[in-house]
Structure 1
Amino acid sequence: MDLLAVEGLAKSYGGVGAVRGVSFALAPGEVLALIGPNGAGKSTCFNMLNGQIRPDAGRIRLAGTDVTGMAPRRMAGLGVARSFQIAATFGSMTVRENVQAACLVHAGGMARPFGRADRRFRPEAERWLDHVGLLAQADRPAAELAYGDVKRLELAMALSGAPRLLLMDEPTAGMAPKERHGLMRATVDHARRNGIGLMFTEHDMDIVFTHADRVLVLSRGRLIAAGRPEAVREDPDVRATYLGGGLTFAAAPGRTEAVS
């Protein structure tokens, strides 16, 4: 059974179709990239998948359960985690405390607090910070982090809930190229080992073609291509609509391939 099945998803604003009849599926442990030019409908699609926006039409099924229009909190309870294009963390709290707070939410501790919150889930928080390379900064206020590190922190917070489905919106924005590949490699490896369905949007095509198992391409709200990265980057509609007639990208660490 597919982890995520999307059928005919649609959303319009003032008569303009932001997402129009999008259908796809995602298997456990699969890595799926959603790309397209600005305004293609990527964020709208993501916002419908985790309940931020209710679709006008279509169905979203998670492990066979219809979750269409379900509120984000209920989606999170079913194992859907989300990181945002503009990272959201608590700047006045330490890096560790941010992840501890996420652990408390996932465990229901915010509704039923007991004891000192800063003593709860400390080992778990540090394990996730180590996973994203932030353990050395655990005691720093989150407000002092560089933006790339804030994105790492947000990822640690999302992973702390052991999600079944992880939606990542521009996960490597603000990072140096080497850091981008390192973070994506660790995240992809974790998803595959644990059977987590991973879907992400990204403007860095090198990240997309290096780490995705499949790629979906949106243009003006419609899905114009879907398939393995090597097939999508050669698709004439993708080249004409999105990639401007050609594609080049720097080789990722350990990879020498280039396309022109």
Structure 2
Amino acid sequence: MSDTATARAAEQPSLSIRNLSKAFGGVQAVNDVSFDLAKGELLALIGPNGAGKSTCFNMLNGQIRADSGSVRLAGEELIGRSPADIWRRGVGRTFQITATFPSMTVAENVAMVLMSQRRELFSLFRTAVHRHRDKALALLDLVGMAAQADRPCGVLSYGDLKRVELAVALGNEPRVLLMDEPTAGMAPRERIELMGLAARLVSDLGLSVLFTEHDMDIVFGHAGRIIVLSRGALIAEGTAQEIRSNPLVLKTYLGEGQIYGRAEG
């Protein structure tokens, strides 16, 4: 490969979204949205209620089929693929509400995703869990939960459950991680700690993370770049400082009194 081709390949975004659109009946939920998620970037997607954030998010991992547009993972088209197929190709995801198995241990919950990745039979569950324990512990160590590996998830605090969910999302060694309101329901200190952890994963693993979030302190304090949706359209993108001072964003979303505080949307 020539030096020019090598440089071009290095610059290829992890996730490339072009002209993404989705309508429900007569309502245009997402309208011609385009943006890139770079390798090793922590990118925030924000906007008021009804902006189209959830719809956009759900199209990226195949939960909702786009009407038009393209979503490419390192150049490979994802539109038309199932969520499971997209997951196996390297797009992980966390959700607003944690979805662990309360009666199973922390390590067993993480081992479940390792079994799924390898399409192993769940009838051999105990054998498979034992076989994947070292890998599960390594993932739990990444998120600071290895010491609680043998505790049932049902006795954990909400903040710790969020960490377990993050370990589960890392189980398929994703190139891209989608985090849907990762700090929802958490105490202020837990929010800061979780997003600090996400930022370290971006730095240490070269992971590309796209997240939605209502807490503007979290967004401005951790995102390397921010994109803003309003009524289904992308209205701004830039650094925290650029978004804070963008007149259109101030008018449609943040408001003069909400620039540094929690904005609902």
Higher alpha-carbon deviation: 161-170 or 148-157: 148-157
Do residues 156 (structure 1) and 167 (structure 2) align? Answer: yes
Map of 1:9-88 to 2, 5 A cutoff? 9-88=20-99
Counterpart Cα distance in 2 of 1:115 and 1:206: 43
Q: Report how many aligned residue pairs link the two structures.
A: 250
1:158-197 correspondence runs (5 A): 158-197=169-208
Q: CA RMSD in A?
A: 1.8
Q: Name which of structure 1's ranges 57-66 and 139-148 shifts more when overlaid on structure 2.
A: 139-148
- Structure 2 unaligned residues grouped into runs of 5+: 1-11
- Partners of 1:32 and 1:61 lie apart in 2 by 17
Give how far 1:111 is off: 7.4
2:104 alignment partner in structure 1:
93
Give the drift of 1:195: 2.0
Partner of 2:155: 144
Alignment match, 2:225: 214
Q: Please name the residue that 1:240 is paired with.
A: 251
Equivalent pair of 2:47/2:253 in contact (CA under 8 Å)? yes
Residues 115, 247 of structure 1: CA spacing in aligned structure 2 closer, same or farther, 3 A cutoff?
A: closer
Tell me, yes or no, if the aligned pair for 1:53 and 1:69 is still in contact at 8 Å: no
1:257 paired residue number: none
Please give the secondary structure, in 1, of the residue aligned with 2:172: coil
Distance in 1 between residues matched to 2:154 and 2:23, nearest whole Å = 36
TM-score computed with the length of structure 1 as normaliser: 0.90
C-alpha distance in 2, partners of 1:206/1:159? Answer: 25
CA distance in 1, matches of 2:121, 2:59: 26
Deviations 1:203-257 (A, max 9, x none): 111111111111011111111111111101111111111112343437xxxxxxx
Give distance in 1, aligned partners of 2:65 and 2:122: 26
Matches of 2:144 and 2:203, distance apart in 1: 19
Q: Percent identity?
A: 55
Q: Does structure 2 conserve the Cα–Cα contact (< 8 Å) formed by 1:52 and 1:71? A: yes
Which blocks of at least 5 consecutive residues in structure 1 are unaligned? 251-260
Is contact 1:22–1:223 with CA below 8 Å preserved after alignment? yes
Q: What are the within-5 Å matches in structure 2 for residues 95-114 of structure 1?
A: 95-110=106-121
What residue number does 1:134 align with? 145
User: Partner residue of 2:235?
Assistant: 224
Q: Deviation string for 1:128-162 (max 9, x for gaps)?
A: 22322323332222222232222211111001221
Q: Which range moves more in the overlay, 188-197 or 3-12?
A: 188-197
The CA deviation at 1:115 is: 6.9
- TM-score, length basis structure 2: 0.88
